[in-house]
Chains A and B, each alone.
Chain A
Amino acid sequence: MVQNYVRTKMSPDMAPPATETGIIGWVMKNLLSSWLSVVLTVFGAYVIYLIVPGVVEFAIVNAIWVGKDGLDCRSIADGGRVQDGQAIGACWPYVQAYFSQFIYGRYPLEERWRVDIAMFVGVVSLIPLLIPTIPYKRENAIFLLGVYPFLVTILLTGGNIGIGNGAWGFLAILMVLGVGFVVFQAKTTQSIQISSGLKIVAAIGVAIAIVYLALGFDYGMLDVETPLWGGLLVTLVVAITGIVASFPIGIILALGRRSEMPVARLVSVIFIEFWRGVPLITVLFMSSVMLPLFLPEGVQFDKLLRVLIGVTLFSAAYMAETVRGGLQAISRGQYEGAMALGLSFWQMMGLIILPQALKLVIPGIVNAFIGLFKDTTLVLIVGLFDLLGQVQASFTDPVWSSPATSHTGYLFAAMVFWVFCFGMSRYSIFMENLLHRGHKR
């Protein structure tokens, strides 16, 4: 027998039970949901208890905040000025005294405004680019990628870079090749018009010539050689150049490796496998020690520039594989849909495939960026002083020698690196959520 049932009164909304909401609900769900999680919670609390109080004590409670030299961070029994028996924490006056060296390295004091301007302009033009709601993205990006690098080069080196006949010769050869290519293409495939092609070639030529002239112009600024650069300045120059330059190269390599053209594929595979097969330290060593042996005598190649090229090519290989992973996740149907509409190869890649593929691998890309940022510390082995190298170099200073000096220095370096890496990480998560809307149901 089935009994007929008719609801006569609608049941009202009620508040959920206390175990589901509020602090208690959160604790029950996240910390104490099963025996295993109770054990893990207790264990986690114990680990926090072990680490956090010690760090807080060292960095804040027992820290020395003012002082004029290392003796202020040393006990009387040890020859210093701190009362015996008093616990000694971090020696912050040392960081304060060395702060500018950690930032600029041995960059001449009276020229540091140039670094300040470079950093300031960089930050001011980068922030609006990172915030999605601010307009003029294209103009901003053109400035940041097309003008800013040269501005920074001129500011930091002082300009007046000798543009030799070789460079002008290179430009001339480039122009001849460009014109030849345009004429050849126009004659054989009619895919471009000679006049418009030549205009593009001429524009590129003029742009390169302007860059040459700008870099070579004598601005009357002191010439600051790159061995004088150091600290955070070197870290940022190496990391940002590596990140910005390796990204497009990596995309090209990823496309090349998936190309149906045998030569493009072979070249990409060889390039990627070569750079992935050698450690970064080897690359740096080769670029700074071995490369000069192969160059003709008298040809000088700035050490920092060599490191920049090495780091860029190295991380481009990793970037390529990350991007390739994203490309592989895009279904055949997307390619076919784009092709059937008549889009050209580059339109298809630029408008349909890459936007989706890159979105998918944002975590991987940012992972590579963060790894690269931290790998910049390796430049120390070729004699460039990045932030960590500069901190370590300061340990030998007898004026600030104290038992806490090196701990404090490492803590400071760790904090700076963490801030940058954490910032990148958070921004990537923000971007992921923002771009996710296209796929949400």
Chain B
Amino acid sequence: MAEAPKKSSSKKTSTKKSATKKSNGSAARAAEPAETQVKMTVSDEVAIEITDMHKWYGDFHVLKDISLKVNKGERIVICGPSGSGKSTLIRCINRLEEHQKGKILVENIELTNDLKKIDEIRREVGMVFQHFNLFPHLSILENCTLAPIWVRKMPKKEAEEIAMHFLERVRIPEQALKYPGQLSGGQQQRVAIARSLCMNPKIMLFDEPTSALDPEMIKEVLDVMITLAHEGMTMLCVTHEMGFAREVANSVIFMDEGQIIEQNEPEGFFNNPQSDRTKLFLSQILH
């Protein structure tokens, strides 16, 4: 949140920058556990800026007048009824969906039809999907090393080291040589998170990461996401896990009919919702 201690926030971003410059990879990450002690902080730097964005599917106006600013280190939870456009919104951020009007700036790069810029943004933005979207013909390890090797042009050995590092962080290094079809849903989703992290992204997008999971497995995925949040990752999560929102989000957005209805910090959002639509929604999902 805005009143987070300024000093520590700037300090953190600067150390992170120098670390990333160093090797863009394992060394930077490996040094991090010490940093995780730093409280979740938000920097002044803007990670994502969306201004007056509109999107249509044919004649259907899915997203209307979306304006949203996300600072580095911010963790935003987006909720709302199905069909409200929340998935579409975050899919616009890495251009899986194209917006027709308005402006989206990601890491100061504007999203246009320029394929080069789109690729540049996708390298910096990780995404986790509802249905995991792991590659079934590749082993877990190959799933994780594919993008670093082909997109970052990293040597295979180094990519494998990084992949193992992140598989350990999501607590399934022993599955590295198995194939996605042999893993449970929760394990697959954790692999998907590790796969994204291997690209060392600056922003992570989560598109209903726990909606396709059995209740027992939701926790193991949320735990990984919470750890990630504590490490200062910029996160946008479409989810209905309100416990998660309360614990790590510094802002909750409620969407309906393609518009942002309400945005507030979790405390205010859950205890004192302003809009009637939000109240109705919350009354239905919180018992």
Contacts and interface: CB of A to CB of B under 8 A. Distances in A.
Interface of A: 189-191, 333-334, 336-344, 347, 351-352, 355-356, 359, 435, 437-441
Interface string B136-163: 1110000000110011000000000000
Contacts of B179: 437-440
Interface in B138-195: 138, 146-147, 150-151, 179, 181-182, 195
Given A333-B131, A355-B137, A440-B181, A340 B96 contact: yes
Contact of B137 (A190, A359, A441): A359
Contact of B199 (A342, A355, A435): A342
B89 to A, nearest CB: 15
Interface in B110-152: 116, 119, 122-123, 125-127, 129, 131-138, 146-147, 150-151
Contacts of A359: 137
B96 A356 contact: no
Contact of B181 (A338, A339, A355, A441): A441
Nearest to A337: B133
Contact of A352 (B119, B135, B151, B195): B135
A24 B122 CA distance: 62
Contacts of A340: 94, 96, 122, 125-127, 129, 133, 196
A342 B116 contact: no
Interface of B: 94, 96, 116, 119, 122-123, 125-127, 129, 131-138, 146-147, 150-151, 179, 181-182, 195-196, 199
Given A190-B116, A351-B146, 6 more contacts: A191-B116, A334-B135, A340-B125, A340-B133, A342-B119, A439-B137
Given A342-B119, A438-B138, A336 B96 contact: yes
A340 B199 CA distance: 11
A339 B96 contact: yes
A342 B151 contact: yes
Nearest to B121: A342
Contact of B123 (A342, A352, A441): A342
Max chain A C-beta neighbours (<10 A), residue from B116, B133, B181? B133
Given A347-B150, A437-B179, A440-B179, A337 B122 contact: no
A188 to B, nearest CB: 11
Max chain B C-beta neighbours (<10 A), residue from A189, A337, A352? A337
B150 A337 contact: no
Contacts of A189: 116
A343 B179 CA distance: 21
Contacts of A191: 116
A337 B135 contact: yes
Contacts of B96: 336, 339-340
Contact of A438 (B116, B150, B181, B195): B181
Nearest to B183: A441
Contacts of A337: 129, 133-135
B170 to A, nearest CB: 17
Given A342-B199, A438-B136, A351 B150 contact: yes
Contacts of A438: 136-138, 179, 181
A339 B96 CA distance: 8
Contact of A344 (B94, B119, B135, B136): B119
A337 B126 CA distance: 10
Contacts of A351: 146, 150
Given A351-B146, A440-B179, A441-B182, A333 B133 contact: yes
Given A189-B116, A340-B122, A356 B136 contact: yes
A352 B151 CA distance: 14
A347 B152 CA distance: 13
A356 B147 contact: no
Contacts of B125: 340
Contacts of B138: 438
27 contacts: A189-B116, A333-B129, A333-B133, A334-B133, A336-B127, A336-B133, A337-B133, A338-B135, A339-B122, A340-B94, A340-B122, A340-B129, A341-B196, A341-B199, A342-B199, A343-B146, A343-B150, A343-B151, A344-B119, A351-B146, A352-B135, A437-B179, A438-B136, A438-B137, A438-B179, A438-B181, A439-B136
B253 to A, nearest CB: 21
Contacts of A343: 146-147, 150-151
A338 B196 CA distance: 11
Contacts of B146: 341, 343, 351
Contacts of A355: 137
Nearest to B125: A340
A341 B118 CA distance: 11
Contacts of B127: 336, 340
